[in-house]
A and B are shown apart, each in its own frame.
Chain A
Amino acid sequence: MAEHNKRSPRRLTVISGKGGTGKTTLTGGLAALAQNAVLADCDVDAANLHLLLAPEINKRERFFAGYKAVLNPQVCTACGKCVEMCRFHAISMPRENAPPVIDALACEGCGVCHDICPVGAITLKDADCGELYESETRFGPMVHAELGVGGEMSGKLVTAVRNRADEIAQENGAELVLIDGSPGLGCPVIASLTGVDVALVVAEPSVSGFHDLGRVLDLCKHFGIDTTVVVNKCDINPDVTAQIKSSCSASRVEVSGEIPFDNDFTKAMLAGKTIIEYNNSPLADLFREIWMRVKDLLTA
């Protein structure tokens, strides 16, 4: 879907509808196999890739996006208009005739209270949403972030991570931007899929995993992104694995691999390693095969 010239890098996002399917484990493994890639952790809500890749942070910057309303009680006349007009129930008046209180976690920064306050008691300040990091890992540069609690602007932070990784890839002449996406289907996921060439969806063979996979594939289709599926923990339910495969083939989505349930993944994680680096695990060969297939899709 992206327009790119010959020199721009390819972009691959690993996503999963359901959380905990092994998305980051797979991304970490691919990071170890990909050559000349820039890594981006766009799961800013629950960033984990750094726990496998131990990035050394070179640059950190606070990330501001949107606003938060701040009330000056000295100026406020407690007329209550802001309480009435706020559609996010972020302003309440604990006592009559006393200045209202703004709940920063509920405030969406729309500015309506600021606009309608008759005495100018409310200002809007830039909202601090989290921190953005540029780092170096044993597999190349990495951009990642940490979202503050209640992060209103997680989609924007995801976009900032993705754009920064893109810039670094352009500067370094990297061939690939490998993105660890967010779970779910909402705004951060959509932000992590924007401008991407291939989406790799990690599915787990359970009734709920199958249900979520359907929704994620719909989303990829909605945005016109080439998609491939990897089934993780495929032996936990061979029937649903078969169901996933036939449903993928019906909708012309390739299944690039099937990974069995294996405690080596947890052991590798505890050791701070990707599965490729762990104990000559036979699972590494499986990852190599998946990587070859995904590479074909990326260069197609």
Chain B
Amino acid sequence: MKNDSLAISIASGKGGTGKTTLAVNLAAVAGEVTLLDCDVEEPNDHLFLDVEWGESRESCVPFPRVDTNLCTGCGECRRVCRFNAVVVLGKQPLIYPELCHGCGACFIACPEKAITEVDRAVGIVERGTFREIELVHGRLNIGEVKGPPLIEAVKDAAAHNGRAAIIDAPPGAGCPAVEAVRNTDYCVLVTEPTPFGIHDLEVAVEMARQLGVKHGVVINRSDIGDDRAVRFCEERGITLLGQIPFDREAAEAYSRGELLVDALPKYRETFGELWQSIIKEARGA
């Protein structure tokens, strides 16, 4: 992989630690870059950028459809479905979209070939540009649970374009966060120095470790709690990439949907330096 096409994921166990702030401001100082907002349940990066929107397309997962003329009601589809998405009422199988993973087991198993697969939309992938940033994000349909396939679609949309990518992951360490961080070159874990922050950082570190993704920590609002986040990094031998103190002006600028690097010029340097140290770590210098 070329150095300039590094994929950097930004994650945190706890929500609201400043992942989005970091992602959009790093993108603004990084030059030509692709910003992938993989928080498909709540995509927010676009709110901080004056995006000129381009292409938009639906993202679909395969969903089984039963031809009732061919179906004999044998129940084989129900037997092989490990997600309990199939119930057979009388002689008719009924498939629940919110339980179906689109794995194809029922489609493969049906002895009558009564099952075909159709596309079921779970959300949309939208692309746009702002300055040198190409933004791609996914938006999950309301009431929809299939985040990971949409995240995969967002990541695919920007694969091999030769630019560095910044991937804003969803919070937590569950399947959506894993999907976003998977196969990235480096993961920046954002935390705050509070009991909640550290507890969730531990989970996020474990996720990055299990995925085999190199990682480092940024402590946001570094002066609100105590020194436990710094100690945590020291004890675990995790790179501390930077510390950003609480700043009410920054919180207000964020609340208005402004980039900190635009609203408060001192942050150009903060994020510029942070981006350089992330790149250096990611390249393994």
Residues of A within 8 A of B (CB): 17-21, 24, 45-48, 51, 66-67, 85, 87-88, 105-106, 108-112, 115-116, 124, 147, 149-152, 154-155, 183-190, 204-209, 211-212, 215, 218-219, 222-223, 233, 236-237, 240, 261, 263, 266, 269-270, 272
Contacts and interface: CB of A to CB of B under 8 A. Distances in A.
B82 A48 contact: no
B210 A105 contact: yes
A270 B195 CA distance: 6
Given A105-B178, A112-B103, A236-B251, 13 more contacts: A20-B16, A66-B83, A112-B104, A124-B82, A150-B173, A150-B174, A150-B175, A151-B174, A183-B15, A184-B171, A186-B145, A187-B147, A222-B142
Contacts of B224: 263, 266
Nearest to B254: A206
Given A67-B82, A219-B143, A240 B210 contact: no
Contacts of A269: 194-196, 225
Contact of B255 (A47, A108, A237): A237
A15 to B, nearest CB: 12
Contact of B41 (A48, A185, A236): A185
Interface in B159-203: 170-176, 178, 182, 194-196, 199-200, 203
Contact of A66 (B14, B80, B82, B206): B82
Interface string B209-224: 0110000000000001
Interface string B1-31: 0000000000001111100100000000000
A140 to B, nearest CB: 21
B33 to A, nearest CB: 20
A66 to B, nearest CB: 7
A151 B207 CA distance: 10
B226 interface: yes
29 contacts: A19-B15, A19-B171, A46-B13, A46-B14, A46-B172, A48-B199, A51-B199, A105-B210, A108-B101, A110-B103, A111-B80, A149-B173, A183-B171, A185-B142, A186-B145, A187-B147, A204-B255, A205-B255, A207-B48, A215-B42, A236-B251, A236-B252, A240-B255, A269-B194, A269-B196, A269-B225, A270-B194, A270-B195, A270-B226
Nearest to B211: A105
Given A155-B145, A206-B254, A149 B172 contact: no
A147 B174 contact: yes
A154 B196 CA distance: 19
- Interface-centre pick from A87, A152, A240 (highest chain B CB count, 10 A): A87
Given A112-B104, A206-B254, A270 B225 contact: yes
B83 A207 contact: no
A206 B255 contact: yes
Given A51-B196, A112-B105, A218-B142, A184 B173 contact: no
Contacts of A66: 82-83
B257 interface: yes
A46 B198 CA distance: 11
Contacts of B13: 45-46
B15 A18 contact: yes
Contacts of A108: 101, 103
B44 interface: yes
Contact of B173 (A87, A106, A151, A212): A151
Nearest to B147: A186
Q: 10 shortest A-B CB distances, which residue pairs?
A: A19-B15, A20-B16, A207-B257, A110-B103, A45-B172, A206-B255, A187-B145, A237-B255, A184-B41, A208-B44
A165 to B, nearest CB: 20
B215 to A, nearest CB: 13
Contact of A17 (B14, B42, B203): B42
A231 to B, nearest CB: 12
Please tell me the size bucket of the interface on B.
35 or more
B142 A115 contact: no
Interface string B92-131: 0000000001111100110000000000000000000000
B108 A112 contact: yes
Contacts of B144: 186
A154 B195 contact: no
B153 interface: no
B260 interface: no
B236 interface: no
Contacts of B147: 186-187
A219 B210 CA distance: 33
- Interface-centre pick from B140, B195, B206, B210 (highest chain A CB count, 10 A): B195
B175 A184 contact: no
Contact of B140 (A48, A155, A185): A185
B14 A20 contact: yes
Nearest to A49: B196
Contacts of A51: 195-196, 199
A172 to B, nearest CB: 28
A185 B20 CA distance: 17
Contact of B195 (A155, A204, A218, A272): A272
Nearest to A67: B82
Given A105-B210, A150-B178, A237 B252 contact: yes
